[in-house]
């Protein structure tokens, strides 16, 4: 197997979140926590070619993404700054960069069977509706309880396919349930390092991918990523992902189809292809 650099995305802003659409468009949420600004960029995941760059909506910071469905991004605002409650729905078309519709009345819940489930507050309690996700028009008012909605949300979550994704798991030394070479290869790297926090790893197409956080002389932490041939132990690739961090930072990489997406220094995305 070859581990080939496909492209790099970088920005002065912190990469906050990554999402992939059904047509393999990579949405990147970028935040400037000092200036309180958020931007959204989108790339073709295969080529790195931009679909749009640093898009900003009318709210400069207190806005986020609920979900991406059929190349429509559903944004939300917050009920109050620094508070987790969501409000409003903004449906944004990835390809045209047009706002398809927006609603100040409803709160996004989930999407199931191509229907958008929403709620709205009333004196009698929450009311629930299904909307056409393409235009925001009401399909039906639901006569259901919050408990029934929670059960349906759980079904909707379970129906979302993650077949194309591989996320790292926590390495447990000596675990008899994993390939013995995993224990050997990670153990070989870890034995001479002052490891802090968990080691995260995954096996992907005959390769072992893992990253470790270890303490250096000034007591700062280094986050280093490794790729090794699982069978031969050959070191194929290494990269310092964080040269000086104060604490263990999980979720440094994941795999999608035959790509490995690696976050470096919180501001650079490395996309490698395995062939």
- Residue 124, pLDDT score: 80
pLDDT the model gives residue 84: 80
pLDDT of residue 106: 97
| CA atoms of 227 and 145, how far apart (whole Å) | 49
pTM over 0.85: yes
Contacts within 8 Å (CB) and 24+ apart, 221-226: 221/196, 221/245, 221/246, 221/247, 221/248, 223/249, 223/252, 225/252, 225/253, 225/262, 226/189
Residue 227: the pLDDT is 98
User: What is the C-alpha separation between 197 and 75, in angstroms, rounded?
Assistant: 34
Q: What is the DSSP code string of 27-40?
A: EEEEEETTTTEEEE
For the chain of 275 residues, list the mean pLDDT of each consecutive stretch of 10: 95 95 97 96 98 96 96 93 87 98 97 97 89 98 95 96 95 85 94 92 96 88 96 96 82 96 96 96
Residue closest to 255 by CA, chosen among 213, 208, 186: 208
pLDDT of residue 178: 86
């Amino acid at each position: 197997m070859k581990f080939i650099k496909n492209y790099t995305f970088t920005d002065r802003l912190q990469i906050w979140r990554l999402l992939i659409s059904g047509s393999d468009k990579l949405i990147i949420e970028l935040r400037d926590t000092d200036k309180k600004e958020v931007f959204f960029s989108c790339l073709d995941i295969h080529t790195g070619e931009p679909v749009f760059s640093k898009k900003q909506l009318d709210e400069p910071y207190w806005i986020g993404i609920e979900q991406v469905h059929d190349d429509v991004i559903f944004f939300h605002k917050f009920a109050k700054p620094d508070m987790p409650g969501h409000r409003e729905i903004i449906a944004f078309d990835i390809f045209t960069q047009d706002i398809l519709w927006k609603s100040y009345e409803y709160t996004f819940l989930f999407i199931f069977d191509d229907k958008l489930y929403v709620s709205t507050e009333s004196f009698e309690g929450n009311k629930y509706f299904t909307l056409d996700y393409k235009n925001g028009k009401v399909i039906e008012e639901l006569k259901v309880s919050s408990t029934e909605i929670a059960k349906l949300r759980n079904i909707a979550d379970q129906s979302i396919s993650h077949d194309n994704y591989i996320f790292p798991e926590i390495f447990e030394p000596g675990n008899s349930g994993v390939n013995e070479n995993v224990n050997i290869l990670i153990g070989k790297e870890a034995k001479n390092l002052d490891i802090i926090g968990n080691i995260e790893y995954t096996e992907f197409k005959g390769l072992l991918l893992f990253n470790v956080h270890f303490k250096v002389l000034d007591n700062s932490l280094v986050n280093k990523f490794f790729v090794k041939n699982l069978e031969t132990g050959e070191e194929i690739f290494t990269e310092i992902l964080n040269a000086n961090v104060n604490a263990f930072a999980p979720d440094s990489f994941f795999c999608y189809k035959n790509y490995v997406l690696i976050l470096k220094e919180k501001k650079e995305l490395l996309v490698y292809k395995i062939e």
